[in-house]
A and B are shown apart, each in its own frame.
Chain A
Amino acid sequence: MRPLTEEETRVMFEKIAKYIGENLQLLVDRPDGTYCFRLHNDRVYYVSEKILKLAANISGDKLVSLGTCFGKFTKTHKFRLHITALDYLAPYAKYKVWIKPGAEQSFLYGNHVLKSGLGRITENTCQYQGVVVYSMADVPLGTHILLRYKRPEIGDSFANSSQVQLKKKKKKCLHSGKHSTGKNLAILT
């Protein structure tokens, strides 16, 4: 277990900032203590310092996990955000997308979401924007990237702008407890 290097920190923060922007600082300085990121076996864990102290006693090969896993670094040093980070990203998300109950189930099982399944969406969401997907009951379901979203301009028919697809990040398969990497959400038109 070790702290992140500069490079790694930069890469990771860039990724996270896609979803929560400058709110990143809030992740580190929290009212209930200081939290930090630690790297262990290529995975980034977000822990509070109290836990860190106890975890220091555990030898590296025996340590499996601590706190919350935010994501992992791939072999080519790109950072992949995991679904387990959702609880921390959701409150600070800048762009949110709400989907209708009908589309919710389909979304959870890994399908794309068409624009017709969209309930609400934050204004000024531009293309390729990272968004956090909620159900209509404000339960965060996942994070995604709006791949293609063409706002209907005046004069466009609805038919043209009808195909917005949200490709959701696959929710972790929690039965087996495996870490699964999420696919980026793509909104396709």
Chain B
Amino acid sequence: MGRKLDPAKEKRGPGRKARKQKGAETELARFLPAAGDESSKRLSSRARKRAAKRRLGSAEALEMPKFPGAKPFPGKLPKGASGGAVQTPGKKGAQSLLRASQGKKRPAPTHSSEEEEEEEEDDSEEDDVVNQGGLWDSEDSDADMIDDYGADSTSEDDDEGEELLPIERAARKQKAQEAVAGSQWSEEETEEEEEEEAEEESPESGPQKNDEADGGLQINVDEEEPFVLPSAGEMEQDAQAPDLQRIHKRIQDIVAVLRDFGTQREEGRSRSEYLHRLQKDLATYYSYGDFLLGKLMDLFPLSELVEFLEANEVPRPITLRTNTLKTRRRDLAQALINRGVNLDPLGKWSKTGLVVYDSSVPIGATPEYLAGHYMLQGASSMLPVMALAPQEHERILDMCCAPGGKTSYIAQLMKNTGVILANDANAERLKSVVGNLHRLGVTNTIISHYDGRQFPKVVGGFDRVLLDAPCSGTGVISKDPAVKTNKDEKDILRCAHLQKELLLSAIDSVNATSKTGGYLVYCTCSIMVEENEWVVDYALKKRNVRLVPTGLDFGQEGFTRFRERRFHPTLRSTRRFYPHTHNMDGFFIAKFKKFSNSIPQSQTGNSAASTPTNLDLPEVKDQMTPKPKGSSHPAKKARVAVKAKQQLQKRQHPKKASFQKQNGISKGTDSSSPTVSCDTKSQAASKLQDSSQPAQKAEVIRGPKVPRKLKQQSAMPQASKKVAFRKQNASRGTDTEVPVLSLSKTQATLKPEDCDQPLGNSKRAEKVKQQLPEQPFKKAAFRKQNGTPKGPETSTVSLLSSSRPPPAKRRKSQSRGSSHLSS
């Protein structure tokens, strides 16, 4: 029941309201017809409206071609008023009419048809009611069809344009609707709207879209000049002295043209020219670097792109998370409201989040904050912990924990049970972690300062791991506008490389056999595909993990293909969040489940797929190649694959760097690696195509070495291998051992020397005992737990598949070995 806004009414009286600022009234006065339009007499608001109607009505009457009859009025005109002098309502009057009555009042026809109007008015009231609903629906749909930028295009010209356009469009739609319905009065309205449009067009310079969208209606307006791409000269001129208004307008025009390229394009200009121009304009207008903007253009469709860019200019709302270790959300909200903070629960998806609209006290300095009752945290940062779903009494690793928001959330979900290892590579930011965790009352956390890539070596076997990887920050541009310009191709690739390494380390730190866990959540605050889907896809190829649903039911799915790249289809279960759609920082979340602790040896050969399963079992031993030389045998391939994986693994985890230079095959995993590596190398060299190059060299080198210790060596490699590969699956050993045997004697020399360190006592014992290479191999094979491939055994039992159980292998190896030896 507010007072009616009557702009022309003068405020009289001594009170404050008379002196109050003019405000809306003065604004509106600009839109309303000048007072002198109709008469010098000051009219009341209703009278003015009627006058406006009359004006419009007369205009229509003049142009009315088809429907001479009276047109029904959709709304009730005040009888008294209509009885009186019905003047053609002016444009604005019509608008206000439309606005006020929700389209109930149509512009009045000329007085000649007044009576008819009134009659029809009664008749048509029902129709009107029906039409009303339809009107707004059609209006809405029409508005969508017409142009999103209609408002924008006029906004530059005139503030009034904004108010005119929607109404006018509404009226136009109404016209169209009525025209379709064939009602008589629609024609009048059409004309009226045409008039309005005509009037409107003149003040506006570029609403060409409106015209084109209304192609169906009869318009008496000249077509606006279609948008023309500026010439090269103009573009250069822009570069020097950018006129932001003009650029903004051009952006909108280009987007509109591209939306309907077939019809709106300028002859002779290609789509890429338009796109190029758009990119330049966007970069200028929003201050982006060209590289980043190009990436964004690949990522988003054009309409979303502008929304995204706009959203990055504005900060996201402040959100906080209740610390349930110390308080409840209800109590905290009450306490904060009492202090003068205006807040709301964050959403259905969060039970602890609150969003702060405004606050009279600094939100980071309240006694509740100091007492650790809440933590200021972005909404998107709560999501990965919800996806991780830590359970009580678990061991959790948070690899990049600073400033500690996610770690404390994990702790509160676990209710301070279990153990969390919070790690970060940046010592400065670790101080904030310490402070926050102490403030929030988290007691089950250890804070460490390692590079995340060192992880499984330091301590592993966690139930769950959270990796919030350092990224380029393209999702949080609103927090840090410098990202717009200082990121380029190299930065993104460098980030991606680091993220891949961290992710592999994180995967290795998870214990797949954990009773309650085995999960890893990888998240970044970036929207680039190179840092998100590509890294995840890489991990899927390299490790025994698979993607599982994150448990977040909102958010956009990750891409399964992007430009020239194709990703694994399960990437659909990852989630992307954007500032312009979800009103939270850009984010990407992926949840992995590790299903096996073994590490596949990646292979260029086709046996790579089979090796993972092979690796799990000690069947590595089975993989004995009868002949070191290029076996195309499937078993051999498997071995090769295994070996390659070992090699890769060793490369990745270069524990024993001794032979690394030779071919990166071995070392890493264990003491045996030196021997193994040598073996493998030589053998691999002989046998394997891809990874064998170095091995070959090694082999060659080793060849002429002392044939003497072959037996020992063969034993050693195997023993060492066993020891070495205890934990990991690098079963390169098998392959190496095979060649050892095959090479018989010459190879052996180097191995024992090489493998010195890592050899455990067991190995030595084994070595000593065994005369025959097979024997040690077999024993070694048995000792190996994790299916680390045993070279020697593999060599003897080349044909055996790796899935053979050890006993079987043994038998075979024995037989093979003996046969081998004999041969």
Residues of A at under 8 Å CB distance from B? Answer: 47-48, 50-51, 54-55, 57-59, 62-69, 84, 87, 104-105, 108, 135, 139, 141, 171-172, 174-179
Query: Closest Cβ of chain B: how far from A64's Cβ, in Å?
Result: 4
Q: Is the CB of A108 within 8 A of B370?
A: yes
List CB contacts (< 8 Å) of B263-306 with chain A.
Answer: none
Q: Which residue of B365, B395, B432 contacts A54 across the interface (Cβ within 8 Å)?
A: B395
3 smallest A-B Cβ distances: which pairs?
A177-B435, A177-B432, A57-B459
B458: chain A residues within 8 A (beta carbon) = 57-59, 62
Distance of A48 Cα from B364 Cα, bound (Å): 31
Can you name 17 A-B residue pairings with CB atoms under 8 Å?
A: A47-B443, A51-B419, A51-B444, A54-B419, A58-B450, A62-B450, A64-B433, A64-B434, A108-B367, A141-B371, A171-B370, A172-B439, A174-B369, A174-B435, A175-B435, A177-B434, A179-B434
B364: chain A residues within 8 A (beta carbon) = 175
Distance of A108 Cα from B369 Cα, bound (Å): 12
B447 adjacent to chain A (CB < 8 Å):
yes
Distance of A174 Cα from B442 Cα, bound (Å): 14
Q: Is the CB of A178 within 8 A of B431?
A: yes
B438: chain A residues within 8 A (beta carbon) = 68-69, 84, 172, 174
Closest to B444 in A: A51
B419: chain A residues within 8 A (beta carbon) = 50-51, 54
Distance of A57 Cα from B423 Cα, bound (Å): 13
A66: chain B residues within 8 A (beta carbon) = 445-447
Q: Is the CB of A64 within 8 A of B436?
A: no
List CB contacts (< 8 Å) of B674-697 with chain A.
Answer: none
B431: chain A residues within 8 A (beta carbon) = 176-178
B449 adjacent to chain A (CB < 8 Å):
yes
B448: chain A residues within 8 A (beta carbon) = 58, 62-64
B605 adjacent to chain A (CB < 8 Å):
no
A64: chain B residues within 8 A (beta carbon) = 430, 433-434, 447-449
Distance of A176 Cα from B450 Cα, bound (Å): 21
Q: Is the CB of B446 within 8 A of A58?
A: yes
Distance of A175 Cα from B364 Cα, bound (Å): 8
Q: Is the CB of B432 within 8 A of A176?
A: yes
List CB contacts (< 8 Å) of B528-577 with chain A.
Answer: none
Distance of A171 Cα from B371 Cα, bound (Å): 9
Distance of A117 Cα from B421 Cα, bound (Å): 43
Distance of A65 Cα from B421 Cα, bound (Å): 10
Q: Which residue of A48, A55, A57, A172 contacts B435 across the interface (Cβ within 8 Å)?
A: A172
Closest to B371 in A: A139
Distance of A102 Cα from B419 Cα, bound (Å): 40
* Given A47-B443, A66-B446, 19 more pairs with CB closer than 8 A: A48-B444, A51-B419, A51-B444, A54-B421, A54-B446, A57-B459, A64-B433, A65-B434, A65-B447, A66-B447, A69-B438, A108-B367, A135-B367, A141-B367, A172-B439, A174-B372, A175-B365, A177-B435, A178-B435
A51: chain B residues within 8 A (beta carbon) = 419, 444-446
B441 adjacent to chain A (CB < 8 Å):
yes
Q: Is the CB of B441 within 8 A of A87?
A: yes
Q: Is the CB of B449 within 8 A of A62?
A: yes
Closest to A35 in B: B443
Q: Is the CB of A174 within 8 A of B436?
A: yes
List CB contacts (< 8 Å) of B368-382 with chain A.
Answer: 369-372
Closest to B421 in A: A54
Distance of A32 Cα from B436 Cα, bound (Å): 24
Q: Which has the most chain A C-beta neighbours within 10 Å: B395, B434, B446?
A: B446
Q: Is the CB of B371 within 8 A of A65?
A: no
B435: chain A residues within 8 A (beta carbon) = 172, 174-179
Distance of A51 Cα from B446 Cα, bound (Å): 7
B395: chain A residues within 8 A (beta carbon) = 54
Q: 1/0 per residue B400-444: CB within 8 Å of A?
A: 000100000000000000010100000000111111111101011
Distance of A177 Cα from B372 Cα, bound (Å): 12
Distance of A65 Cα from B446 Cα, bound (Å): 6
Q: Is the CB of A63 within 8 A of B370?
A: no
> How many residues on chain B are close to A (CB under 8 Å)?
32
Q: Is the CB of B370 within 8 A of A58?
A: no
Residues of B at under 8 Å CB distance from A? Answer: 364-365, 367, 369-372, 395, 403, 419, 421, 430-439, 441, 443-450, 458-459
Closest to A64 in B: B447
B365: chain A residues within 8 A (beta carbon) = 175
Distance of A63 Cα from B427 Cα, bound (Å): 11
B437: chain A residues within 8 A (beta carbon) = 65
A172: chain B residues within 8 A (beta carbon) = 435, 438-439
Distance of A92 Cα from B159 Cα, bound (Å): 68
A175: chain B residues within 8 A (beta carbon) = 364-365, 435
Distance of A62 Cα from B738 Cα, bound (Å): 42
Distance of A153 Cα from B395 Cα, bound (Å): 59
Query: Closest Cβ of chain A: how far from B329's Cβ, in Å?
Result: 17
Query: Closest Cβ of chain B: how far from A162's Cβ, in Å?
Result: 26
Distance of A148 Cα from B448 Cα, bound (Å): 43
Closest to B440 in A: A174
A176: chain B residues within 8 A (beta carbon) = 431-432, 435
Closest to B417 in A: A32
Closest to B372 in A: A174
Given contacts A84-B438, A172-B438, contact A68 B430 (CB under 8 A): no
Distance of A178 Cα from B308 Cα, bound (Å): 37
Distance of A108 Cα from B441 Cα, bound (Å): 18
B432: chain A residues within 8 A (beta carbon) = 176-177
Q: Which has the most chain A C-beta neighbours within 10 Å: B430, B431, B443, B459?
A: B443
Query: Closest Cβ of chain A: how far from B492's Cβ, in Å?
Result: 30
Query: Closest Cβ of chain B: how far from A49's Cβ, in Å?
Result: 11
Distance of A23 Cα from B771 Cα, bound (Å): 69
Given contacts A54-B459, A58-B459, contact A68 B443 (CB under 8 A): yes
Q: Is the CB of B433 within 8 A of A177?
A: yes
Query: Closest Cβ of chain A: how far from B105's Cβ, in Å?
Result: 59
Distance of A175 Cα from B365 Cα, bound (Å): 9
Query: Closest Cβ of chain A: how far from B454's Cβ, in Å?
Result: 9
Query: Closest Cβ of chain A: how far from B207's Cβ, in Å?
Result: 51
Query: Closest Cβ of chain A: how far from B104's Cβ, in Å?
Result: 57
B433: chain A residues within 8 A (beta carbon) = 64, 177
Query: Closest Cβ of chain B: how far from A173's Cβ, in Å?
Result: 8
Query: Closest Cβ of chain B: how far from A70's Cβ, in Å?
Result: 10
B369: chain A residues within 8 A (beta carbon) = 174
B443: chain A residues within 8 A (beta carbon) = 47-48, 67-68
Query: Closest Cβ of chain A: how far from B327's Cβ, in Å?
Result: 10
Query: Closest Cβ of chain A: how far from B493's Cβ, in Å?
Result: 29
Given contacts A50-B419, A62-B448, A62-B450, contact A174 B370 (CB under 8 A): yes
A177: chain B residues within 8 A (beta carbon) = 403, 431-436
B371: chain A residues within 8 A (beta carbon) = 139, 141
Query: Closest Cβ of chain B: how far from A31's Cβ, in Å?
Result: 13
Closest to B432 in A: A177
A48: chain B residues within 8 A (beta carbon) = 443-444
Distance of A104 Cα from B339 Cα, bound (Å): 13
Distance of A141 Cα from B444 Cα, bound (Å): 23
Closest to B335 in A: A137
B445: chain A residues within 8 A (beta carbon) = 51, 65-67
Q: Which residue of A57, A67, A174 contacts B439 across the interface (Cβ within 8 Å)?
A: A174
A50: chain B residues within 8 A (beta carbon) = 419
A58: chain B residues within 8 A (beta carbon) = 421, 446, 448, 450, 458-459
Closest to B395 in A: A54
A84: chain B residues within 8 A (beta carbon) = 438
Query: Closest Cβ of chain A: how far from B390's Cβ, in Å?
Result: 15
Distance of A46 Cα from B318 Cα, bound (Å): 34
Distance of A51 Cα from B372 Cα, bound (Å): 22
Query: Closest Cβ of chain B: how far from A117's Cβ, in Å?
Result: 15
Distance of A47 Cα from B437 Cα, bound (Å): 14
Query: Closest Cβ of chain B: how far from A33's Cβ, in Å?
Result: 10
